[in-house]
Each structure stands twice: as structure tokens, then as C-alpha cells.
Structure 1
Amino acid sequence: MRGATIAAFVALAPLLPAAAVAVGTVEVDAALPYVCTLPSGPQRATVRITAAFPERASVGEEIRPADVTTTVELPAAAVAGLTTPRAAAVRAETRLAVGVAQHEQRAETTWSGTAQPVAVPAEGPLVLATSGDVPSLTTGAEGELVLTAGALAVDLAPSAADGAATTPPSLSVACAPAPDAEGRTVLARVPVGAGASGGTPSAPPPSTPPPSDTAPSSPAPSLPTDRPVPPPSAPGATRGTSAVPKTPGAGPRPEGRGLAPAEEETPGTPAPRPDAPPCITEKPTPMSLSAYITGYSNVRKLNGANVIPVSCTLIEQGLPEIEFREDGIHLITKSVARFSYEGRAQTPPFRATFLTFGFTPTTATLVLEQTGPMTVDSDVLLIFPDNLSETYVRAPLVLRVLDAQVNGTPLDVGPDCRTEKPLTSPEPDPVKYPGDHLVLLGKGQLINGTDAEGYVLTGGGPLTGTVTIPPFKDCGAGGEDLDRLLTAAISGPDNYVKQIQGQTCSVGVEVPPPDQCTEDRQPLVVPKPER
């Protein structure tokens, strides 16, 4: 979650018509008393939240705030307990929970920020100011929209004077609004549309928090601090747990041969990580994820299915956006991804064996090459206590034939044998997503406080769809044209595909979770194909 979580800060329209007054900005500057759970015990702190956002917007208009900062002032009594004796500087990342409410609809998002390292003071308080891009929010209804500051998590990474990490290398601090902050945590009350009451968006009045060097009689609510949390694609997403279906679904036919699934684990013994191709993110960002994917694809004409090998997928998760619709609150996240194999955007080569035309054994080495951006669009409908998720993966993939054997005799297909265009699937939104591409759909249910069921981007799970294999071109060597032979044997519509994605690895966090990532920041979970 650190640096890659859901973040939202909202400002919407006053009652004035759009054409009557030029759009201005409203600045929020709120200093709030918080209580932070530190190794030495609970300590009071001051949290200052500032932002600039439009003073109004029309219903359905995208709102994107600017100059958003979260400043945490920790008292001098807390500084000694936060760092080791060798610590000379500390770098901070913050996650502020922001409640968003309109009428009876409510959601809670996380507003993230990062900061450059600051020197640890010899005496006095430690001031940590973080900032970050804030995603937009769209509402399709009129009415007052209320934003409220909630729990705050502060991740600290101390370093020695020479820049080396200290031991322990990181520390997470959980903070919550102090008891005397009740009634003061509202950041803004925003009228949306002509039917809403009130005037321009308002910020809370300035306040002077109580002294930060005295602790309350009872500790603040504690958040998990044992490890960083992976960036979820939605609130309630499974944390560090592979979200596979609890009941098996229908899969491709079992005919055909390919890479065999890993052998069953011996009860009572630790399961080693199965072999998998390298999956390294060269220049990770705070939004970088990686995952392995594998599965089966039918070839209907050959009455069989072939395994798609374990393949590395590198994902750049987008910033989520909130949309208020008639059926509820939607959390929209748009990400991009690419296959990665030996520096190329493709799967590893894989072998397929079928009975061509029902009687001739044919074996080929194939590869799926990515010819354009792969998009991952997640839509989560927030319905308490359950959240329903739909994720569409769209990928332009060309099927390339590297070599082939017919009844044991090599068949020279040449160096450029491939489908004449990318594989195609039925597209539910062809105007928005034109062109030829594979479409896979993952559906999930995120039950608050429990593991996700089905597919969730960060937890993984099954993705299914159907694909048309186009005709082949440039197949053959020495003047022999094999295009029509391969097209007649393989090409055609309605080929069912079922892919299984494993748990993602949060590559961009400072200390990747050990149940997600290997020591060298590769995905720990290697999924098995399911029919």
C-alpha cells in the first residue's frame, strides 16, 4: 500500500450556474490533534492537512485537487524511540484515510504522500511533510458531499549518515484523531449541483491543538505494523493472500498436451517455490507490481487445449478514481501491463501437440508476442459489507510459430510465421476500445474482513474469455507456402481461454512483503494452470 494505495480528496460545485461566475479555488488548511502509537507508547501529535481545489464543479465533471500535503509533527519525546542511535535522517510515507459521504452513500479511501529524507533533530519535534498526486473524483448526483479526515499511517525509513539503512530498516506508526478532535475532523462540506444547500466549499476553522508532549490516558486504535501492505485495487482487497475461487469453475477441455502443472506438495513439508522465468522490474516506481500468469487456451478446430506457460507480467497500477453513480459508489482503477521475457514483451516459448485434422500428430513451438499496450481496468462497486469487482484485461497479442514437426518430420515454417493480426475477442465497449485484442474478464467479491473470492488485481485469481485465432501469414521456406495449411488447421473463432494470475509483488515499496516477493523482488507466488 505504501506509495501505491487508493487516494482521494474531493471538492465539488456550489449553487452558482457554471456560466455566471469564473471557477476559482478554495484552500484547505486544517491542523488537527492526533494520537500516534509509538514504540515508547501513545504520544500526541499534530497533523496538518492542506490542499487547493476547485470551488465548484458540475455533476459528472472530473475534479482533481492540487498542492496536497500532509504534515506530521511528532513531539521531541517520540523522536528517540523512532530511530536507532545510528540514524541521521529519516524518510517518510503517509497514508491518510479520508471519508467521503454524499446522502446515504459512504466510502473510505486512502490519501498517500511521500517525502525526501529529513535530518533527525538533536532536540525538539520531528516535522515530516509529505505530498503526492491525488486522483480525481466524479459524482453523478446532486447534494452535499462531506470529506472527513480519519486514521493515519506513517511509514518511516531511517538511514545512517553514510546513507546505509539502519536496523530495523523501517518502522510503521499508527495514528488516529485524538478524542478532543471529535467534531473537528471535517475537511470540507461541498454543495454539488443546483439542488444542494449551502454556499461555496468550506474548510474547518483554524484550531490550536493541545500540547503534543502529553499522552492521553488510553492508547489510540492500533493499525497493523508488522509489514507493509500491498497496494489494493479496492478497499477490502485481500492483503498478501492469493484470491483464487473457492469452487472450481468450468475450464477448457483436458485434451491436448503442454507444460504439466507442478507436482503436488507433500503434507507437512514446506513447499519450495516452483521454477519460474525471471520477473525483474528494472526501474520500479511506487505503483509498480509484478505477477506470474498461466493457464489454458482451447484450440477448437483441434478439439484440444494447450497450456500457456508461466509468464512474467509487469504492472503499473494507476491512481483510483471515485465515481458516484445511480447504483452506488464505484472505484475505478486503470493500469497498464506488459509481458516480460528476456527483455521482450512476450511469453516464454511453449510446445503444443495436437492431432491435426484428427489423425496427424503435430508439435509446434509457439510464443505470444505483445504488439501494443496491455490495459487492466478494474471497477469495484462498493456495497457494504460486500464489494463487487470486475476487471477487464485487454492485450494485443500475435501468435507466432517458431518451428513445427508433422508426424516427427520437421516442417520449416520460416522465421516470420505468425497470425496476420492480433487475436481478437468480443469487445463490450468497441467505441472506447477499438482495434484487435484479446479480452479477459475477472470477477471478484471482496467481503470486508475476509479473503477475496474470484479475481482481484493484487490478489490474483481466474480470468476468462473467448478468442478468435486469425489466419496465418509468412509461413514457409524455400518457396513453400504453409499459410493455408496452418490457417485451415488452427484459425477460427470461439476458443475458450482461462488464465490464472498469482498474487502480485509490491515491487516499489521499500521493504517488499515477504509473503509476496522473493528477496530479489520477484513474485513469490507461482500459480498453477486450471482447466
Structure 2
Amino acid sequence: MPRRVRPRSVTVTALAAAGLLSAANGALTGVGSAAPAPAAPPEKTATTSVSVTCPFADPLGSRKLTVVTSATLPTQPKSGTSATIGKYSVQLSLPRDVALALLPTGATSGSLQGAVQLDLTVHQGDRSDKLPVPLTVAPTPLPETGDVTLTATGDVPEIAINTIGAVVFDVTAPTLALTAVPAPDAAATPDATATPAAPPAPPIACTLDPDQQATLGTVLVQPTATPGSEQKAALGAAAALEDDPPPANEYTVPLGLITIFTTSTIKKLGATVVSDPALLINGFFSVDLDTTESRVSGSAVFKPATATFLAFGFVPVTATVEFLPHDYRNSKMIEVGGGLYTGDDNEIWLTTQLFVMGRVSNVKINGVPFDVGPDCVTEHDIELHVSGHYDPFATGHIKDPNFKLPGFRDCGSGGQDLSPLLTGMSSGDGNEAKIDTYNLNGCTEPDHTKCPKDTLPPEQDSPAAAAKAAAKPR
């Protein structure tokens, strides 16, 4: 039986070792001060939209603009190595009257160009640094009608990550320096008949509007691997669920709100059990700074789910299925935990073992109640060996493609033992369990429809939702 997770507190020693309290370690980020990573990690696209107020000169006055920032973030930077943010761009829609005011006097058409200057804030916890990012707006013609959409692009300096855990990138309000593109005749032969060039407009320092999320994205910085760390991570469940005192040099951060979806396929029954969403509570990401082993831990309660199947291939059956801890009579809280490592694809992987009891109730055969009693459970724990891609600050997709469903015990009522019947119908090898996790902090868009697809739970018309609907009794 797994032992209960104890939330691990952040020790002063761990913080100092992580470089979060020691001034000798320098800033959280630096430029060009870290050794390059041995291989470029895969990237993920991050996008965020913020509202800013820009004080244009009279008679225009202050205007609210929407600024959309997009970039690619490394999916798994390592501490002590450099990280690159690529394809950085900022898009904003400039009102037509503002754009016309930047053109030469009296002009009704033309093009704008210039620069956008902003800072990218990089922080972990209460420590942060600002990284200046200069961007260029290429010559952009005004459309015949309506506002003009400007796109500014540029390179973000290489960032040296000197910490471990979740590193958050926030956008700031831009400073705009826009001007009209000189007409070809003015550039070639400036004379009295040519349209005079507009003087450069003074920079406009915009400000972020209050009460909005400005996070571009979050990346998980892993400790630099040591030989054998992958093999050690395979024992992640044991490490995460130990009741021994936490290591002295341990860095721990909470995981926030995580939604868990589970889907189990029972081979003998041809049935798929899709549970309602569960929440991981008391979730923590922890790193032992001495061994560089990292793990996650937490607790979850899974709601009962309804399964529909054909017993023996032709008898319609519905039943309520529950996944419970070994000590299910006293608690419904399942302790979970696992070790993290870098896979061959350079992605973060989780591998662990989970032990759950299965309970069946509310059985109906061809619509007629079939009393299996109040405590019809598996003879022993269902042992799951799960692994797969997992980012504790974004999403995870792990599974056990071949678990064994034990036989059942204590099934029946009125002196009738129905355990052999349920065992014969369902128990055996070849079953599959899938677990999908979604860290709701992974999406920073106020409008959830703009979130990356992999940061939110399945939509109502998705295949996962369809499978869930099909599992419900008609």
C-alpha cells in the first residue's frame, strides 16, 4: 500500500542552492553567460493578448490598443544552460485617424514603419528581471479603409537560466516609435513639388491596462541530468510517496489547479470507462538539488463513472465503476506521484506506479437491477505502470497500455456469491488506462478560446467528449 505524501516545504538551504537568495549567483537571467545546451530542445508556441493605453499627442489623445505577442518557448530548458525564445513578434491594430496623423500633412495614403521597444519580464516567485526586446516594424501600407495592422519582429537575446522550477515570461507595454515611409519622389529628388516628409513622431510610451493577465508562457527548468537519472526516475512513485523526511536541499513549488481525465478500456467487456474530471490537490513539483532527481506529487478523488457494455457479447449491462485507494473504507483520496526524466525525444517524461482498488455497484442487466452488494471490489489493488509525456506546468498524457484487472470479491447479496460471475466477465490482461492532465495555469488568455489546444481539457465535440457521452446509459 503506498504511503501518504507529505507536502514538502521549501528550505532556506534549497533556495540558496537554487540561486534564489544568493547575490553571488547573479540575476535570475543573464545574456551569454551560460554554457550552451548540448542540443536544442523542442519548442512550443505561446501567445498572449493584452490591452494597453497609449498617450498620443493632441488632438488624438489617449487610445486603447490591443497588443498580441507570440513567440516560441523552449519546452525543457536545463539549469545552467542558455534558452532561446524564437519567432518573437508583436501585432497591434492602429486606428486609422492615428495612422493618418503620422503621415505628411494632407496625405490620405502611404506607409508606416518604425520600431517597438518593450521588456520581457522573466520571473520565478518574487524574483524577476527585465530583458529589453527591440522590434522593427517593416514598411506597412495603410489599407484603403479601416485601421492598419502593424507587425513588429525581432530577436530576443539568449537567456541564461540560473534557477530550477517554473520560470514565467510576462509581456510589458510597448513604446512606439512610428513614422511615415518617405515617398519615392521625395527620397530621390527632394524639390519644391515633392510631398514633404513627415517629421519623426516622438516615442509613445504605452501602459498596461489594469486587472489583466500578461503572461506569455511558463517553462519548466529541469536540473542538469546526472548519469543514471533516468533509471532513478523509473522509481519515481516510491520516491514521491515516501514518508521519510524530505532532503535538506530540496526545491519545491506548488503546481496550481490541475484537471485530470482518466479513460480505461476493459478488453474482455469491450467497455470504455470515462471518468468525470478530477482535480489534483496539494500538487507539488520537487527537485532534490543534491541528486538532481525531480518528481511530482499530489492527491486526487475520482468520481464514480457509468460504464455500458455487452456481457458475454450480447447482454446489455450498465454499472457504476469507482477507482479508490487501498484504504477505501476510510478515505477516497488517492495519493499520486512520479519521477520525471528527459526522454530520447528530448521531452519531459513521467513514469510511475499507481495502485487503486476497483468497486462496482448499481449494476443493471437489460435494464433490470442486479444486486452485487455494497462492497463488490477487486481482490487486490489494480497495479498501473504509467508513463508518457508530462509537463507539470502545462499538460500530461500518460498511459499503461496493458494492465491486469484482478478478480472480484464480496460481490452479491442474500447469500448469493456473484464474484465468480464478475471475475469471469471482466478480469484479465490486455486492458488500457489513459490519464490526461491539464494545468489550468498553462493557459494565460482571458478568452479561453484563444488558448493553445493542448492547454485546455477536451471540448464538448472532441473525440474524448464523444467517448464519454457514449459511455453514459441511454
- Is the pair's TM-score, using the shorter chain for normalization, greater than 0.5? no
TM-score in terms of structure 1 length: 0.40
User: Which is higher, the Rg of structure 1 or of structure 2?
Assistant: 2
Q: Specify which structure has the higher proportion of helix.
A: 2
